[in-house]
Every structure is written in structure tokens, then in C-alpha cells.
Amino acid sequence: MKKRQRRIEDEEEEVGDGNEEEDEVAEEHPQDDEECADDAEDGGHDICEMPIVEVITPPDKPKKVLEVGCGDVALGVDLAADLVKMQEDTDIGAELLVDEISCIDYSDIVVKTLIEKQKKEHNGSSSTLQASFHSLDARSLHYAPNTFDLVLEKGTLDAMLSDKDEGKQNCIQIVKEMARVTNIGGSILIVSHLNANESKGMKWLEDVVFSGLKAEFRERREAIKKQQAEFYSWSIHIHGGEGQLIKDEDDEEVMSYGPAVYIIKKKSVPADRAQELFSSKKKDAKNVESENGDETELTLPPVKVEFLTYD
């Protein structure tokens, strides 16, 4: 299987300011041949498997992982099992790579069930790397900023969007909190049925993900301007299938791409570059908001978006 890459970038530009429909992005189509992992079937689409371990290695120190909205089938449990198996196969200590996996869910019942299940499977032993489970509201995490090197989310945002009244705002708040607790140099990994190769998925990316990143930035903006908080940018890699032609409900042929994996990386921006961005007088309304008659303010740090598709 070969990888084909499509890139969409807003280099040194701010996006997601409420006028996303006016945003323009430049497109390139470089080719890059690289062997990919085995296929995984999902709704008739071939999705390149991306082991979570690859996202977090090689480490300079053990990583801390958070799974948001784990449900009764936690990715964190599988990650711990994979790391322990790697330890058995290679004699490389699992805790040299990851020393903490925290799985959170809103449901007390789900969390209690996971704790009991893990106790039974490990006979009460804690001698190997294991996930821990906590009942928490993902909209208001009690963790300090920059705590986790990898934040996982699979399906929680999709499920919450079914609430027509508060779903979108709840999702924005969850993305904001995930962005806040992700360490600089770390990543957020989101698995969603909303693929940004399709119009609904791109709207979700703009309305939920960009809005969440913007909300987190706004809370720290004044501190950043005074150099009391660190300034950082984001890169978003969107991984998914190449797409297939299907017939919609009107019997028209349309492209269907299936689910996507979003890897959102938090990157440090040098202080001098941060001040340059703040001092710039932007005239493009999609990149700034007017706070008084003479001044304009940055609403979001630079975001670069890149599509990676697999045939």
C-alpha cells in the first residue's frame, strides 16, 4: 500500500475566527511513496493503521497519556497492553516510554466497571504498566496546563454533537481543555467519523477544533503579550482513506472518505516571533478582531493543516 499526500497550509496565518467560510487555503499535491501498515476495514474503506506508540516515540523521558471519554472500551487499556507486549518482546521497559496512562469518563458506572475488570485481569497486581480510570467531566479537567504528552479522544466529540442544543459548545470546550493540558511538543489524537476531506468534516474542523484552539488561546492572550505565558502554534495532520465513489440518497455519485484520524501537535513559538505576530497590524478580518477603533488583536496562533491519504 502506498501513501499519497495532499497538503493544505496556512503558514504563519491565523484561522478559525468565526469567518471560516471566507478562508482561503493554498493546495499542493506532492507525491510521497512510503510503505504503510496493514489495512483495517471500516465501512468499506481501507484505513492505514497508525499505532499509538509511533506517535509518542522516541521519548527523551517517559510520556504521560490521557484518554478523554474512554467509555467501556478504553484505548488506554490497549496501549498499556501493547507496551507490555513490546517489553516482553524486546526487553525494553514499557515505563521507559510511558509511565502514566489516565483514562477518564463522565460516567461513574463505566469507571467502576473498568477498575473492577482490570483488577480481575491482573489479579490485583500492579507490577506492570496499567491504565488508571477516573470519573471526570472532559469540559473541566482538573489537570494543570501542559501535563500530558499525548491526549486521545475517540468518538466522544462525535457522540456529543448529537445534542442539537449544547453539543457544539460542549465539543468546543472539550477541545479547549485537551489543548490546555497537552504538553508543548505533545499531540492530541482524535478519531472521528467526520472526515475533513468532506464538507461536513471540514465544517466540524473549523467550527469545533479551530474554535476550541481559539478559546484556549484567548484565555492566555494577555499573559502571552506580557511574556508571562508561552506562545505556541499547532499543526494538524489528517489521516484517512483515499475515498470511494458511492451513490447518495438521490442516486447521485459522491465521494465518501470514511473516518479520519487527526493528529494535532502543539509547537513552541520563539518569544520574538510571538511579539512580532502580536504587533502586526492585520487588515484581513478573518485573522483578527477589532477591540477598539485603532487596535487589532490576534485571535488564534498559526495553524498548519495537512491531509495524508492512503490507497
Q: Give 249-303 pLDDT, tens digit per residue.
A: 888 888 888 899 999 999 998 888 877 887 774 444 344 444 444 345 677 777 8
Q: When comparing pLDDT for 196 and 45, which is higher?
A: 196
Does position 13 have pLDDT exceeding 90, yes or no?
Answer: no
Q: When comparing pLDDT for 124 and 137, which is higher?
A: 137
pLDDT by residue (tens digit) across 126-156? 668 899 999 999 999 999 999 999 999 999 9
| Whether the Cβ atoms of residue 305 and residue 238 lie closer than 8 Å to each other | yes
Please tell me what DSSP assigns to residue 20. G
Domain spans of the chain, in order of start = 42-69+138-280
Which pTM value belongs to this model? Answer: 0.77
Q: What's the pLDDT at 310?
A: 65
| Whether the Cβ atoms of residue 94 and residue 129 lie closer than 8 Å to each other | yes
Q: What's the pLDDT at 223?
A: 87
Q: What's the pLDDT at 181?
A: 98
Does position 194 have pLDDT exceeding 70, yes or no?
Answer: yes
Q: What's the pLDDT at 211?
A: 95
Q: What's the pLDDT at 311?
A: 56
Calculate mean pLDDT across residues 225-246: 88
Per-residue confidence at 246, pLDDT binned at 50, 70, 90?
confident
Does position 120 have pLDDT exceeding 70, yes or no?
Answer: yes
Q: What's the pLDDT at 249?
A: 82
Q: What's the pLDDT at 52?
A: 55
Does position 220 have pLDDT exceeding 70, yes or no?
Answer: yes
Quick one: 4 exposed, middle or buried, by C-beta within 10 A (0-12, 13-18, 19+)?
middle
Q: What's the pLDDT at 64?
A: 97
- Average pLDDT over the chain, rounded to whole? 79
Q: When comparing pLDDT for 5 and 209, which is higher?
A: 209
- The Cα–Cα gap between 128 and 46 comes to 34
Does position 190 have pLDDT exceeding 90, yes or no?
Answer: yes
Find all residues with CB under 8 Å of 232, minimum gap 6, and list them: 184, 266, 267, 268, 269, 301
Per-residue confidence at 34, pLDDT binned at 50, 70, 90?
very low
Q: What's the pLDDT at 54?
A: 54
Q: What's the pLDDT at 152?
A: 98
Per-residue confidence at 123, pLDDT binned at 50, 70, 90?
confident
Instruction: Name the region of 66 (left: φ>0; alpha: ψ -120 to 50; beta: rest).
Output: beta
Percent of the chain with pLDDT over 70: 73
Amino acid, res. 48: C
Does position 72 have pLDDT exceeding 60, yes or no?
Answer: yes
Does position 213 have pLDDT exceeding 70, yes or no?
Answer: yes
